[in-house]
Homo-oligomer: A and B are copies of this chain.
Amino acid sequence: MKKNLEIFSNSPTCPIRNVFDRFGDKWSVLVLMVLGTHGGLMRFGELKEVIDDITQKMLTVTLRTLEADGLVARKYYQEIPPRVEYQLTDLGKDLVPHIENLANWASKHVDQILRSRKRFEKKVASKD
């Protein structure tokens, strides 16, 4: 095997497996982008309102993972009804511009990708 491809095999040092697997789920990137764009503290319900198709459970799970990774900080106020505020950590703030970079690429090419997807579906359908 080509030497430069070895890093992609299943090893503990594979950067893709170590990182994309962390924030490569359905919601993490979206939550990071929303927190980054908003720019400060956001309450749970506020995040839920912005990302309107996420369920409470998935938002909780996603925030917990991001907190565990040190990308998001959680502040819990002992009040009734409960109040919890989230914001990016320094590490999170450092990451967001790199994600935005990819998101900008996405914005620029999303139409082309959607067209390609439709063309492919027709191609597959015509073979049935």
Quick one: given A103-B15, A112-B70, are A24 and B23 in contact (CB under 8 Å)?
A: yes
Q: How far is it, in angstroms, between the C-alpha of A21 and the C-alpha of B53 when the chains are bound?
A: 14
Copies of this protein in the assembly total 2
Q: How far is the CB of A122 from chain B (nearest CB, A)?
A: 11
Q: How far is it, in angstroms, between the C-alpha of A75 and the C-alpha of B71 when the chains are bound?
A: 41
Q: Is the CB of B50 within 8 A of A1?
A: yes
Count of A interface residues, CB-CB < 8 Å? 57
Asked whether A114 is an interface residue with its Cβ less than 8 Å from the other chain, the reply is: yes
Q: List B contacts of A58 (CB < 8 A).
A: none
Interface string of A66-109 (1 = CB under 8 A from B): 01111100000000000000000001001100110111111101
